[in-house]
Structure 1
Amino acid sequence: MLDISRVKTISLDLDDTLWPIWPTIERAEKVLHDWLAAHAPMAAALFSNPAALREIRNHVADQRPDIKHDLSAVRRESIRLALYRAGEDPLLAERAFDAFFSARQQVELYEDAHDALAVLSARYPLVSLSNGNADLKRVGIDRFFRAAVSAREFGVGKPDPRIFHAAAGAVDVEPHEVLHVGDDATLDVIGAVNAGMQAVWVNRDGHQWTYDEPPHATVSDLRQLCALLA
């Protein structure tokens, strides 16, 4: 049961909580392929299927545990490897990644997200807490957040308790005073609870909860979250 009286700060997941991530990634991968077609045509031909680029990205993540927490680094190195395998100049990877990364920031918020951010940020300090590589300023929602904590910059990702504690520390509160909100049952809910926080599960698609310990609350969208905290 959620104890609203304890909540002094809200930490928010980004991908699939504020916007759907896969349409964003698919558009960004299309931009990347178009860039390769113009500047590295052999790589574009070799990796014309998005699944092929994702396969090489997964390979890099498996082979480079030192950068697995940093999705930008994984993506950049996977592009570099793709260029190398295609006989193209690996030095093009930086520019190719820039094209991908710019498109990756062009997200489409869920219809409830913008108004909810306005309501929540007026009542609580908000901290973004993400394993992804979205840039709040480039997305256009940085004004709602007091701080941003990402696995890419912190060095470990959710569900490690240390990154949750970093989110609490970013606004000078204790973990038990933070309400974490996110869509992923393992990374967000179980991770937050294990870090000593309360957790709200954003379950937009009506999934069944499969863990022994339930979230403190479940909502189907962020409007319900605002109502819950009203």
Structure 2
Amino acid sequence: MVVTSLDTARIRAITIDLDDTLWPVWPTIARAEAALAGWLATHAPATAALFGDAPALRAIRVRMNELRPDLRLDLSALRRESIRLALTQAGDDPALAEPAFDLFFAERQRVELFDDALETLEFLSARYPVVALSNGNADVHHIGIGRYFKDSLSAARLGVAKPDARIFHAAAQAAGVTSGAVLHVGDDALLDARGALDAGMQAAWLNPAQAAWPQGTPPQATVTSLRELCRLLA
């Protein structure tokens, strides 16, 4: 663990990223896409024949990014409309996009938390108001961890995404404190740590790979695990 200048006395609230901070996201997405492919094979076989594997599903999702830039911050809407596009191109009923997405979304919420995630949430929420702050579409209430959070903010909900300072400021407001009283915790050097610093917060970078800080002023704390973060704040 590397600590540069964390001022624990200033911390009155915690904001925390979700994907790849509390659980690994790509195994979750892969499982959800596999479930979606299985559903399509049963309910929309023509679509399954054209888009029945993860690379094809992701390719059409990229295409939807190009077609609907207005949805770029709403990952749920992007996924739903990419499924609709696949159904339409294959000649299946585009209305099947709704139940298909519902299945995908339910699977997307079946995350496998890191070993120290629950104990960390218990530790943090016993001491501070905690606000989830994500660019993704994980739902802490669907996942079953909503009780640890005062609020959960997403790019889709606010219309801005990390590292935009406005989403960090909104999270501080949701926690009932100023930005300077917040410690933000996240795994992404740019989106989380740099974004929080630029918004006037302190930042703890979750860096299990022990990568070098990319550039500029480093965050106040770098930890290799959430358990290390708890020890730092104890």
Same fold (TM over 0.5): yes
- Corresponding residue of 2:59: 55
| Deviation of 1:208 (Å) | 2.0
Residue identity (%)? 60
The 5 Å alignment of 1:165-180 reads 165-180=169-184
Structure 1 gaps, min length 5: none
User: SS at 1:128's partner residue?
Assistant: strand
Asked if structure 2 preserves the Cα contact closer than 8 Å seen for 1:201 and 1:215, the reply is yes
Equivalent positions of 1:137-216 (< 5 A) are: 137-216=141-220
- Report if aligned partners of 1:9, 1:173 keep a CA contact under 8 Å in 2: yes
Which deviations, in whole Å up to 9, do the C-alpha atoms of 1:199-225 show, x marking residues without a partner? 110012222211122111100111000
| Cα pair 1:62 1:68 within 8 Å, conserved | no
Alignment-derived partner of residue 68 in structure 1: 72
Aligned residue in 1 for 2:36: 32
What amino acid is the match of 1:66?
D
Q: What residue number does 2:17 align with?
A: 13
Q: Which amino acid aligns with 1:64?
A: R
SS at match of 2:14: strand
Secondary structure of 1:213's counterpart equals coil
Are the counterparts in 1 of residues 131 and 153 from structure 2 also a CA contact under 8 Å?
yes
Asked whether the 8 Å contact 1:202–1:220 carries over to 2, the reply is yes
Picking from 82, 101, 104, the partner of 2:105 is: 101
1:42 alignment partner in structure 2: 46
- Normalised to the residue count of structure 1, the TM-score between the two structures is 0.98
Aligned-partner Cα distance in 2 for 1:131–1:196? 19
Distance 1:49 1:30 in 2: 7
Cα distance in 2 for residues equivalent to 1:82 and 1:211: 41
- TM-score scaled by structure 2? 0.96
Q: Show CA shifts across 1:135-158 (max 9, x none).
A: 111101111111111111111111
Distance in 1 (CA, whole Å) between partners of 2:130 and 2:115 is 19
Three-state SS of the structure 2 residue aligned to 1:15 is coil
Q: Secondary structure at the match of 1:218?
A: strand
RMSD: 0.9
Q: CA deviation at 1:66?
A: 1.1
Residues of 1 paired with 2:161 and 2:30: CA distance?
23
3-state secondary structure, aligned to 1:52: helix
Could you say what secondary structure the match of 2:70 adopts?
coil
